């Protein structure tokens, strides 16, 4: 991802965009982050400079206004919502509903696993329930009790699957179970107590109750990379050791005191 107008000089952002397009790379940047949204008006700056395009993905978008979303939609841009990190880091409420209202198809991300969990099940749940809470609150403020639910579990699953593939410009290859696409499959166990019994609507169960613990088997391009709940041909001990060494190195370089040695 490039830094974009909210985290760098505009000329730097412009050069980054031009460089990415020179090499045919998708472009992602953070916008609408808390008070930076009104201060820098990144989307409007990019539009004025004729830099918006369908190769661009905008992360967060919490404090973008309707005009910003219309500009993004008109230029075929995509948006990614990372609900848990956004609320934890003070960026604002997730902009899922605002993106949908502008006719856009939001996707979901995690952002940084140093500040939030790394599984997409959590992000689906938080994004869906937060948007429901915001919608319900507007009804409550009118003096009424909410009587219906707008967004549903199928919407959240769409944000996490095909919309994510579209944001990455991979939707012709993956993101849905469609003849001609590569066989990227996730098989979930439905007999675990956190989700059983799955009787009527498996999508509701997946979004509302499932976690990464339910993932039994994963195929990437038809090749099994996880079976029976275990990764295939992966030395987890070595990976853990590398992760710990990297963590210790970062802490030491940052001069963080009292580093836990365990």
User: Pairing state of beta strands 107-108 and 215-220?
Assistant: unpaired
With both helix axes pointing from N to C terminus, report the angle between 153-160 and 202-209 in degrees, rounded to the nearest 10. Answer: 70
- Establish if 248 belongs to a structural domain: no
Asked if the structure places residue 102 within a domain, the reply is yes
92 belongs to a structural domain: yes
- Between CA 122 and CA 36 the distance in angstroms is 27
CATH of the domain at 78: 3.20.20.140
Distance CA 176, CA 187 (A): 14
- Confirm whether 236 is domain-assigned: no
Closest Cα partner for 136 from 155, 149, 154?
A: 149
Any domain includes 40: yes
Measure the CA–CA gap between 53 and 109, rounded to whole angstroms.
21
Residue 257 has pLDDT above 80, yes or no: no
Query: Within a domain: residue 227?
Result: no
Domain membership flag for residue 26? yes
Which domain range does residue 165 map to?
10-181
For residue 159, what pLDDT is reported? 98
Average pLDDT over residues 24-42: 97
Q: Do residues 184 and 219 lie in contact, with contact meaning Cβ atoms separated by under 8 Å?
A: yes
Percent of the chain with pLDDT strictly greater than 90: 89
Q: 5: pLDDT confidence band, cut at 50, 70 and 90?
A: very high
Give tens-digit pLDDT for 80-108: 999 999 999 999 999 999 999 999 999 99
pLDDT at 259: 54
Q: What are the tens digits of pLDDT across the range 165-210?
A: 999 999 999 999 999 999 999 999 999 999 999 999 999 999 999 9
- CA distances to 64, 90, 157, 175 from 35, in Å: 10, 10, 30, 34
Residues β-bridged to residue 188: 215
**Confidence band for 253, pLDDT divided at 50, 70 and 90:** confident
Query: Looking at residue 262, what is its pLDDT?
Result: 47
55 located within any domain: yes
* Rounded Cα–Cα distance for residues 216 and 210 (Å): 12
- Give me the number of domains the chain comprises: 1
């Amino acid at each position: 991802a490039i830094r974009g107008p909210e985290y760098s000089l505009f000329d730097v952002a412009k050069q980054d965009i031009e460089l990415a397009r020179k090499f045919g790379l998708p472009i992602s940047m953070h916008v609408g982050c808390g008070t930076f949204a009104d201060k820098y008006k990144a989307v409007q700056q990019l539009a004025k400079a004729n830099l918006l395009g369908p190769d661009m993905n905008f992360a967060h978008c919490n404090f973008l206004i309707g005009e910003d979303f219309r500009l993004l939609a008109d230029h075929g841009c995509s948006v990614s919502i990372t609900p848990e990190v956004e609320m934890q880091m003070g960026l604002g409420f997730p902009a899922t509903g605002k993106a949908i209202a502008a006719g856009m198809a939001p996707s979901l991300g995690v952002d940084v696993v140093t500040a939030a969990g790394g599984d997409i099940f959590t992000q689906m749940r938080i994004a869906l329930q937060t948007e429901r809470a915001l919608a319900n609150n507007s009804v409550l403020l009118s003096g009424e009790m909410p009587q219906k639910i707008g967004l549903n579990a199928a919407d959240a699953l769409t944000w996490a699957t095909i919309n994510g593939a579209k944001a990455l410009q991979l939707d012709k290859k993956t993101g849905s179970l469609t003849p001609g696409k590569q066989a990227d499959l996730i098989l979930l166990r439905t007999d675990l107590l956190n989700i059983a019994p799955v009787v009527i609507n498996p999508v509701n169960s997946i979004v509302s109750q499932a976690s990464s613990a339910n993932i039994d088997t994963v195929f990437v391009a038809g090749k099994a990379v996880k079976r029976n709940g275990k990764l295939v041909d992966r030395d987890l001990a070595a990976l853990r050791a590398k992760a710990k060494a990297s963590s210790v190195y970062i802490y030491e370089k940052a001069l963080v005191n009292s580093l836990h040695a365990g």
